[in-house]
């Protein structure tokens, strides 16, 4: 990205937000894999914190979700 001063600055392109959709079965795998991003709510379903992260464990949680309930959000 170029700014008005002509300098280029690296944009944090690797950072991602996550969303847990309605197909969550509440297994807790994501929370166990990456508690910094995922937790279980009062209904026992997973939720993702509204944070940008480049934590590789968050991607592991997405890939390991048995029902594909975790989605990347840009």
pLDDT in tens, 12-29: 457 999 999 999 999 999
The residues spanned by each domain of the chain are 17-73
Contact 40, 46 (CB under 8 A): yes
**Side-chain-side CA neighbours of residue 69 (13 Å):** 20
* Beta-bridge mates of residue 20: 70
Please give the pLDDT value at position 2.
39
Predicted confidence band at 3 (pLDDT cuts at 50, 70, 90)?
very low
Q: Which fold has domain 17-73?
A: Alpha-Beta Plaits (3.30.70)
Please give the pLDDT value at position 13.
58
Its pTM stands at 0.80
């Amino acid at each position: 990205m170029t700014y008005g001063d002509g300098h280029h600055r690296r944009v944090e392109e690797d950072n991602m937000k996550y969303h847990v959709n309605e197909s969550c079965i509440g297994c807790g795998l994501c929370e166990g894999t990456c508690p910094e991003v995922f937790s279980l709510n009062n209904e026992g379903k997973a939720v993702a914190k509204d944070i940008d992260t480049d934590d590789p464990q968050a991607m592991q949680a997405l890939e390991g979700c048995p029902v594909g309930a975790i989605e990347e959000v840009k």
